């Protein structure tokens, strides 16, 4: 079934040569965690587009024999979760990844991938279930029979629930942060307008501007009025027009985003969020659900509904944050504590409970 497979391994640090040659050397320099980065090509049956040739790009940090944790973020996240000796640039979840952090590659093999469709080459409807099946296919190719845990944030949490429902026998536990079993209609309306902004830009032969505007709308939905009230000054007149305090920030967000995203990828992954539909009864692994009280895209009521409907052990953790939906990136201490407890507490200690 597979068409191609390539990867690069990095034995990242070795003992000093003089030390290797001498019996007098009593200490050996520690090795950095093994880092693998590569891609596989295969055919995958998509729910809404039939059988397609796809390429999955992955990264794995940690010894191959360690228990594996799959980590996924929002639609703009990629396979690079945190810096390593082989890939020292900061990852999208740098605050939680690395030695001594919640996602520690000396204790677990941390695996992630670029979302199916993230390169813009797959211009078809993508269901979150397609992502879950792609992850299962990737695990097959990496010879990972079972994950100790799946940690997902935002869209990644939705995909985690899909994976638990479709491939639960391969999963020990799930941590679902700010992403649940359905797309809320209010959030879907926000995203529909963002996609219209991209389409309007294309009609004006300016896709970049449309994509930037969509990202600015998205930022407003991720954050909260309280944050903007505390952060930005009142409007002022500049060169004969009124400019509000947040415009420079929103322009910066747009410029950063359009430099690393394609309109096609953005549209298809945005649509994919709105296709989320998981029957909680199909999820039969222990789940830690994390919700943010101020999140306007993924409301707390949906978190309660999910936990109440799960047929297995579940824990709801609720935090408060002016960062709203982006709290999983910003509330480093609270999220780190929740992750440590969820990942390292014995399964039998996970019971149905609500904790604020």
101 neighbors 82 (Cβ within 8 angstroms): yes
d(CA 36, CA 51): 28
253-284 pLDDT tens trace: 999 999 888 999 999 999 999 999 999 999 99
Q: Is-catalytic flag, 325?
A: yes
Do the Cβ atoms of 41 and 3 come closer than 8 Å? yes
pLDDT digits (tens, 9 = 90+) for 68-112: 999 999 999 999 999 999 999 999 999 999 999 999 999 999 999
Three-class HEC string of the chain: CCCEEEEEEECCCCCCHHHHCCCCCCCCCCCCCCEEEEEEEEEEEECCCEEEEEEEEEEEECCCCCCEEEEECCCCCCCCCCCCCCCCCCCCCHHHECCCCCECCCCCEEEEECCCCCCCCCCCCCCHHHHHHHHHHHHHHCCCCCEEEEEEECHHHHHHHHHHHHHHHHEEEEEEECCCCECCHHHHHHHHHHHHHHHHHHHCCCHHHHHHHHHHHHHHHHCCHHHHHHHCCCCEEECCEEECCCHHHHHHHHHHHHCCCCHHHHHHHHHHHHCCECCHHHCCCCEEEEEECCCCCCCHHHHHHHHHHCCCCEEEEEECCCCHHHHHHHCHHHHHHHHHHHHHCCHHHCCCEEEC
Active-site annotation holds for 127: no
Q: Which residues pair with 243 in a beta bridge?
A: 236
What pLDDT does 18 receive?
32
pLDDT for residue 250: 96
> Which position among 60, 154, 188, 221 bears the catalytic label?
154
295 is catalytic: yes
For the chain, list residues with pLDDT below 50: 1-29, 347-356
CB-facing half-sphere around the CA of 160: CA atoms within 13 A: 34
Picking from 112, 101, 39, the residue whose alpha carbon sits closest to that of residue 72 is 112
Q: What is the pLDDT of residue 146?
A: 98
What pLDDT does residue 346 have?
Answer: 64
CATH number of 4-26+33-183+278-355: 3.40.50.1820
Q: Specify the CATH class of 185-273 in words.
A: mainly alpha
Catalytic pick from 295, 302, 321, 326? 295
**Domain boundaries in the chain?**
4-26+33-183+278-355, 185-273
């Amino acid at each position: 079934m597979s068409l191609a497979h390539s990867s690069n391994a990095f034995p990242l640090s070795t003992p000093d040569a003089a030390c290797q040659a001498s019996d007098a050397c009593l200490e050996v320099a520690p090795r950095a965690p093994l880092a693998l980065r590569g891609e596989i090509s295969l055919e995958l049956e998509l729910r809404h587009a039939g059988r397609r040739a796809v390429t999955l790009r992955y990264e794995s940090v940690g010894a191959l024999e360690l228990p594996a944790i799959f980590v996924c973020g929002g639609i703009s996240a990629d396979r690079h979760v945190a810096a390593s000796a082989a890939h020292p640039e900061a990852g999208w979840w740098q605050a939680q990844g690395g030695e001594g952090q919640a996602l520690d590659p000396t204790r677990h093999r941390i695996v992630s991938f670029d979302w199916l469709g993230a390169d813009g080459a797959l211009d078809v409807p993508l269901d979150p279930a397609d992502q879950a099946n792609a992850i299962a296919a990737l695990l097959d190719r990496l010879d990972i029979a079972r994950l100790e845990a799946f940690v997902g944030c935002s869209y990644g949490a939705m995909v985690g629930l899909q994976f638990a429902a479709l491939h639960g026998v391969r999963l020990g536990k799930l941590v679902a942060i700010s992403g649940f079993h359905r797309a809320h209609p209010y959030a879907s309306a926000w995203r529909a307008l963002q996609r219209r902004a991209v389409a309007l830009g294309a009609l004006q032969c300016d896709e970049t501007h449309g994509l930037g505007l969509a990202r600015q709308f998205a930022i407003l939905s991720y954050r909260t009025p309280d944050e903007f009230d505390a952060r930005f000054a009142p409007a002022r007149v500049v060169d004969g027009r009124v400019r509000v305090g947040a415009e420079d920030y929103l322009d910066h967000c747009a410029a950063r985003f359009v430099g690393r995203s394609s309109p096609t990828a953005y549209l298809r992954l945005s649509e994919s969020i709105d296709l989320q539909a998981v029957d909680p009864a199909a999820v039969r692994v222990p789940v830690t659900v994390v919700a943010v009280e101020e999140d306007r895209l993924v409301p707390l009521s949906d978190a309660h509904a999910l936990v109440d409907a799960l047929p297995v052990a579940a824990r709801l953790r609720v935090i408060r944050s002016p960062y709203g939906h982006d709290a999983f990136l910003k509330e480093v201490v609270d999220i780190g504590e929740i992750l440590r407890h969820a990942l390292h507490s014995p399964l039998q200690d996970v019971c149905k409970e609500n904790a604020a």
